[in-house]
Amino acid sequence: MPHAPQLRVPATYLRGGTSKGVFFRLEDLPEAARVPGPARDALLMRVIGSPDPYGKHTDGMGGATSSTSKCVIISKSTQPGHDVDYLYGQVAIDTAFVDWSGNCGNLSTAVGPFAIANGFIDKSRLPENGTFVVKVWQANIGKTILCHVPIANGQVQETGDFELDGVTFPAAEIVLEFIDPADEGEGEGGGAMFPTGHLTDALDVPGLGTLEVTMINAGIPTVFVNAKDIGYTGTELQDAINADPKALAMFETIRAHGAVRMGLIPAVADAAKRQHTPKVAFVAPPADYTTSSGKRVAAADIDLHVRALSMGKLHHAMMGTCAVAIGTAAAIPGTLVNRAAGGGERTAVRFGHPSGTLRVGAEAARVDGQWVVRKAIMSRSARVLMEGFVRVPA
């Protein structure tokens, strides 16, 4: 019996922030996968190794976590004044599903280096040494990201001494600016940063009662709750949540009901079709704790604690887009995030997460009675792990 050969698709495996994923140039994809649709989704799922009922991704490039089941497609930008278009797909692990509803802030870090290394930037524009700003159009959500990439001897500098909690080894620092990161175009709020029009809301959740929440569209739609209201301290590590099926079910219920209130889905049952967004996170005032690596962090070294779930599991560090939501909400007096950080006006916060700490800044202002955020800023790092070709059964 004849068997079809494997496809050989040019690709690069990159770490960006605390995530990693498979990057493609649009032009290198098989023709049927160059446009959105079932052919593209099927290709990316097979690259990652999904759906995998064993939850291991043994037969693919994925790492069987939300941080490592990711694909990125880069193309010459369709937008004036931008260098590249960046499209992100979050691949489900055990179901046949690719979620295109949001961005990955961590992998955004790797888009600039990939663009430079893969010929999207004319070499005449690059400094011999210094920093080059790649202007990225985030195609999933229609937003601009400025990626400040260090250059050494005319090439992307990858090694350095910048340390990022959640990443074992140091690398070169890359500064990201998320311009006007508030989500637009979805929800009953017509694209407002706070889709219900309130900084906090009372959310009725079956089995829990009424929770005070902050629901924000900035970086990525996120539902924030107080840790103490759901029986936590805010210093929890992954096993405390991920090894508890009842806890995971509770968080998914909160997420689903928050998604309905934010206007992202019409009914709770639709949450299964939109796994990537919104995120759900819980916040608490600063307290001493020990990270997943055994490092002690003092309460005096952070402004608050935040723990966030991604694709149904507690994240080992913090999603970059959720960090944007945290920084934005922290800058606005009255949100749960701002209150956990001590209240008042602020332009930056350092928060504790399971792997350590992260500082994020945001510029928020009140315009015509509505809160707007001009930009959010954070530092990450990125590194090429492997480049060449991925093989996929035809």
Q: Which residues are catalytic?
A: 104, 319
- CA 394 to CA 385: how far, in whole Å? 25
3-state helix vs strand vs coil in the chain, percent to 5: 20, 40, 40
Q: Please name the residue that has the structure tokens 């698709």.
A: 9
Phi, psi of 361 (to 5 degrees): -115, 155
- CA 71 to CA 44: how far, in whole Å? 7
- Give the residue from 104, 80, 36 showing the smallest Cα distance to 317: 104
Torsional class of 363: left (φ above 0), alpha (ψ -120 to 50), beta (otherwise): beta
Neighbours of 382 (CB within 10 A): 28
Distance set, CA 66 to CA 69, 103, 241, 275, 309 (Å): 5, 13, 15, 10, 9
What is the number of H-type helices and E-type strands within the chain? Answer: 6, 21
